Amino acid sequence: MPVVKGRKTPNSSDREPFAVKLSWAIMWRMLHLERLKSAIEALSQQTQATSQQAAIELRQALHWLKTAPSATTLRENLPQETRPGQEIAIPPLDLPLESALQPENAPPRGTVIIGVDGSQIPPDRHALALYYVLQTGALIFRYNGQAPTPLQQAELHFLEHELYDEEGLLITGQLGMRRAIAEMTLATSLAEQVHAEGAPTPIMTLTDGPLLWPYSGRSNEERQSLLPTYFAAFDRLREVGGMPVGFTERPGGKALLELLWQSRLDENGQPRHEGERHPEAVDDELLMAHFLAPGERSVWLKRLSPMNEKHHEPAGHPIWFCYLNLGERDLPIIARIEAPQWAAKREEWSATLHAVLVHQAAILHGNPYILARAHELALVTHQDKAALESLLHRRLLEHGIITRTSEKARQKGFF
């Protein structure tokens, strides 16, 4: 049989209908669950053991919470430095640690809250061209009977210095940081707009995720550009009576639990742990799920961490946080709420925020309505990306540039 350009003449299997090949491909790419049965059983047993251990530790942690020393005693006696990897918080106000605070009946009339979220199309070596897209969505919700105001912003980035990191590699983690900056920048500009309209304070801006900068702060881009821009947004918000807030559902973490672990002090003011085992299976979320009734929040806490120090000095924006139960009876939904110290310590602002979040979460059974709508406005779908690629392809053709996706990307498009 003749050979053409190093490829053998198609045989009968090569002539199989495409539908047959596709069905075989689908069959082989399925997850073979029977091969995972033993691992699934092991996972089930481990989860059961962890749950039993958590139940024991939970009773102990609840006792520690209800019998914790005063906030003043905790601040004076707990270590201000922690070992690497350890997370601990302190109560910055003098409320008892076991306080469970109730919300006001309803948000004050005229209150404004702005929900902001973002999404992206990351750079892809297999696409028609190298670029990335950041899209942010926002919803302005006014408690005055006016319909909410939706907004969207999109940015296309394609310059070489935007696409590659300091080592000349295509950006990966930097995209999340830049999206956080885009979200905070939009939130700030909208708060300034609402302030100019005469809205009462606080003008709350709500972002999905931690307000405390969640990255390392060690890269040159973070230190020289991103963090200064982030903190500058806090400055602008404070000037117009804004209150930046971060919302994290299912937060995890053990900062409060570590505080409780170190809160039992002997007569010399030193932690005592004789005969006790450090809790490993329980975390703050589980503890708060069994402590807070629906609608209740914890006292404010301040995390002791290197990043919070950067927020504090020289920026002047240390972050406080509290836990809030936005669920229902027998179905708790715990969220961590973060705000800068200068906003959180204002009792009337905290009360307004509490009432607004409970109201917003009641609409969608635990998820704040404004964040859900902001997410919808920000979301870049597969259809959006395909439309962008099609438009880009046409524009390149108009300039006489013929491009195509990589063969790898083309093959993936079949599935």
Domain assignments of the chain as residue spans, ordered by start: 48-378
- pLDDT given at position 85: 67
- What is the mean predicted confidence (pLDDT) over 140-155? 95
Give the SS3 label for residue 41: helix
Pull the structure tokens for residue 88: 């601990």
- What is the mean predicted confidence (pLDDT) over 297-324? 95
Check pLDDT > 50 for residue 92.
yes
- pLDDT given at position 220: 87
- pLDDT given at position 6: 39
Check pLDDT > 50 for residue 3.
no
pLDDT digits (tens, 9 = 90+) for 5-45: 334 444 544 555 655 555 555 555 566 777 788 888 888 88
**Residue 319 backbone dihedrals phi, psi, to 5 degrees:** -100, 130
Check pLDDT > 90 for residue 278.
no
Could you count the other beta carbons within 10 Å of the beta carbon of residue 99? 13
Check pLDDT > 70 for residue 144.
yes
Q: Specify whether the CB–CB gap between 327 and 290 falls below 8 A.
A: no
* Residue among 77, 171, 65, 52 nearest 121 (CA): 171
User: Rounded mean pLDDT of the chain?
Assistant: 87
- What is the mean predicted confidence (pLDDT) over 375-381? 93
- pLDDT given at position 21: 53
- CA 331 vs. chain centroid, Å, equals 22
pTM for the complete prediction? 0.86
Query: 160 or 78: which carries more pLDDT confidence?
Result: 160
pLDDT digits (tens, 9 = 90+) for 51-61: 888 888 999 99
88-90/112-121 β-pairing:
unpaired
- pLDDT given at position 385: 86
Which of 265-274, 302-311, 381-390 has the weakest average pLDDT? Answer: 265-274
Q: Specify whether the CB–CB gap between 107 and 360 falls below 8 A.
A: no
Exposed / middle / buried, residue 371 (Cβ in 10 Å: 0-12, 13-18, 19+): buried
- pLDDT given at position 129: 83
Angstrom distance (rounded) from CA 358 to CA 345: 19
Give the SS3 label for residue 232: helix
pLDDT digits (tens, 9 = 90+) for 233-267: 999 999 999 999 999 999 989 999 999 988 876 66
- pLDDT given at position 384: 87
Angstrom distance (rounded) from CA 132 to CA 165: 14
Pull the structure tokens for residue 92: 């910055």
- pLDDT given at position 7: 41
- What is the mean predicted confidence (pLDDT) over 359-369? 92
pLDDT digits (tens, 9 = 90+) for 168-205: 778 888 999 999 999 999 999 999 999 999 999 999 99
